[in-house]
Amino acid sequence: MKKTWVMRKDTDGVSPVVATILLVGLTVVIAAVLYVMVLGLGNPGGGMPPVFGTNVGNDPSNYEWTISAILGGMAVLKTDVYVQLRTIIMNETVFIIATEPLLAVSGTHGFNYSAATVGNYIAVGDSFSLSKSYASGTTLSLVAPDATGSYAVFNV
């Protein structure tokens, strides 16, 4: 028995206009993805660069950082700053303060925030301190509300 393949003559592929639109759309999508990758916007956890320039106090029993500059002219609301205090205990990183609002956590675990001026924004002259003794390698981070980027990271 011989098989006979029947080809239908009444079917066409995609019209040239639709094919052109699809190719242009695909090209635009690929270009957009490459643009985002090159700029680093798609980098998860890349976060923002540090925004606060600081001076460090020299008292070994009371670590103090004072804001000397707010880089890029960026106004940062105090309510948009969260605190993370991480230390190393028995070779494991432990959060002493795990992403808590700046204004709510001041005065706990030796962390203190002192505003230089009255207002809703972080300003030059504001200071942060740790008056409690922490192990070497402890970091104090001032982070964005979603904790993906840091305004500043201080090392003890």
In the predicted structure, residue 104 carries a pLDDT above the cut 50:
yes
Residue 5 to residues 2, 12, 99, 102, 150, Cα–Cα distance (Å):
10, 18, 69, 76, 67
Q: Are residues 81 and 20 in the same domain?
A: no
CA distance 153 to 56: 12
pLDDT band at 106 (very low <50, low <70, confident <90, very high): confident
pLDDT the model gives residue 46:
46
28 and 56, same domain (yes or no): no
Query: What pLDDT, on the 0 to 100 scale, is given for residue 105?
Result: 84
Residue owning tokens 């950082």? 65
Is pLDDT at 77 greater than 80 in this prediction?
yes
Name the average pLDDT for the chain.
76
- Where is pLDDT greater, at 120 or 60? 120
The pTM assigned to this predicted structure is: 0.59
Q: What is the pLDDT of residue 72?
A: 67
Rounded to the nearest 5°, which phi and psi values hold at 28? -65, -40
29 is in which domain, residue-wise?
14-43
pLDDT > 90 in the chain, percent = 6
Q: What is the pLDDT of residue 26?
A: 92
* Residue 5 falls inside a structural domain: no
Q: From CA 29, how far away is CA 20, in angstroms rounded? A: 14
Residues 83 and 29 in one domain: no
The pLDDT score that the predictor gives to residue 45 is: 43
Supply the pLDDT for residue 42.
41
Domain count, the chain: 2
The tens digit of pLDDT for each residue in 18-55 reads: 889 999 999 999 888 877 777 654 434 444 555 676 66
On whether both 33 and 59 belong to a single domain, the answer is no
Query: How far apart are alpha carbons 68 and 126 in whole angstroms?
Result: 8
Residue position matching structure tokens 């206009």: 17
Distance CA 128, CA 77 (A): 16
| Residue 38 sits in the same domain as residue 58 | no
The CATH code of the domain that includes 113 is 2.60.40
**Cα diameter, the chain:** 98
